[in-house]
Amino acid sequence: MNDDAHRDVLAVLTRDHREVQRFLDELATTRDRADPRLREALVDQITTELNRHSAVEEQFLYPAVREHVPGGTELADREIRENVQIKWTLRELEGVDPADAPFEVTLRRLTEQVKAHVIKAEETLFPRVRSYCAADDLMELGKQVSTGP
C-alpha cells in the first residue's frame, strides 16, 4: 500500500514540494559540470512531478478550498492561474538546450515560481484549509490521492 494512504492531502502535497525542491537543487548543482542528458532527465522528472502535483491540487485540494474556505473560489482560481504560469515555464524550459544561457534564466524563473508556490501554500493556504476542513476529510482526500477516486 502506498504510504500516502496514511497521510492527509496536505502532508502528501508538502512531501511533493520537498521532492520537487530536491530535483531543482540537484539540477542547480549540475550547471557547470553535468552531461546535458542528465540535466534533460532532471527537467523531465521535475516536469512529471509538477504536472502530477498540480493535477492533485486541482482535482482534490482546490474543490475542498472552494467548498470550505471563506473566499475559497477566488483563492482556488488564483492558485490555478499560478499553476498555469509554472506549466508555461516548464514548457519553455523543455525547449531550451541545457548548455545554453537561456536555460539558466528559465530555470531560475521556474525555481522562483516553485519557491513562491511552496511558501504561499505551506504558510497561508494549508493552514487555512486545515482550520476549515475536518481532519477526516483531509485524510480521505489523501487516501484518494494515493488510491484514486
Burial label for 97, CB within 10 Å (0-12, 13-18, 19+), is exposed
* Of 79 and 30, the one with more pLDDT: 79
Collapse the DSSP code of 31 into the 3-class scheme (helix H, G, I; strand E, B; otherwise coil) and give the result.
Answer: coil
Confidence of residue 4 (pLDDT cuts 50, 70, 90): low
Number of H helices, E strands in the chain: 7, 0
Collapse the DSSP code of 97 into the 3-class scheme (helix H, G, I; strand E, B; otherwise coil) and give the result.
Answer: coil
Residue type, 93: L
What domains, with CATH codes, occur in the chain?
A: 3-147 (1.20.120.520)
Pair 20, 42: CB distance under 8 Å = no
User: What CA dihedral angle connects 65, 67, 68 and 69, to 10 degrees?
Assistant: 50
User: What's this model's pTM, rounded to 2 decimal places?
Assistant: 0.90
pLDDT in tens, 17-66: 999 999 999 988 887 666 888 888 999 999 999 999 999 999 999 999 99
Dmax over Cα atoms in the chain, in whole Å?
49
pLDDT in tens, 87-112: 999 999 988 888 888 998 999 999 99
What average pLDDT does the segment 125-147 reach? 95
